[in-house]
Amino acid sequence: MSKNIENRDRLIVALDVPTSKQAIELVDLLGERVSFYKIGLELFMSGEYFELLDQLSARGKKIFVDLKFFDVPATVGRAVAQLNGKGVTFATVHGNDSIMRAAADNKGDVQILAVTVLTSLDRGDLDDLGFKCDVAELVLSRARRAVELGCDGVVASGQEASAMREKLGDSFMVVTPGIRPVDNDDDQKRVVTAEQAFTNGADYIVVGRPIRDAQDPRAAAEALQAEINAVFS
């Protein structure tokens, strides 16, 4: 897989807001500082999802469809196929081998990212879900299967990125959410800084609240872009 990634594209901003109008206001505020946006379930439930997707595409933005497809494999395959030709760069899938394979088989011009373990989960949460293994072990297992099944990459915490690179190489994308300052008091548990994520092997980071809720979102985005440039200079 070719990874000719421009530094400015490595920052993906999560549009975690309730309406398309608020999303576009944030996009316009950030301007050329951000070229890549993630749109997820909150906006999907607003009923304005594909209108927003078209608006982002018209502005020349890259788009990450984060709907974590999880259903009967044939249904997932057909849903992924619906994204072809819509200017979508990434889409997420969750689930077992047959679900990931169905997404990969129908991806067309979309790159499929398999979710490993949500960054809001820790060891205790895995126990609740019935997974009797270490978080890092589960992430590595799911990443290995995703790559073997034809997915283009994974969504994983930066805490596990270095182990994936060591064991699985550099032929797949690692997209890392849960980017936070060192002091963190929200629902994200397995977090890292932007510099740590890239040093550990991430190709992209996803940042939502630290930009959206900043006193000056533009300055927050500029600071992250400067940090990215410093890592890759």
68 is catalytic: yes
Catalytic residue among 3, 68, 132, 167: 68
Residue with tokens 């990969």: 104
Q: Which residues are catalytic?
A: 68
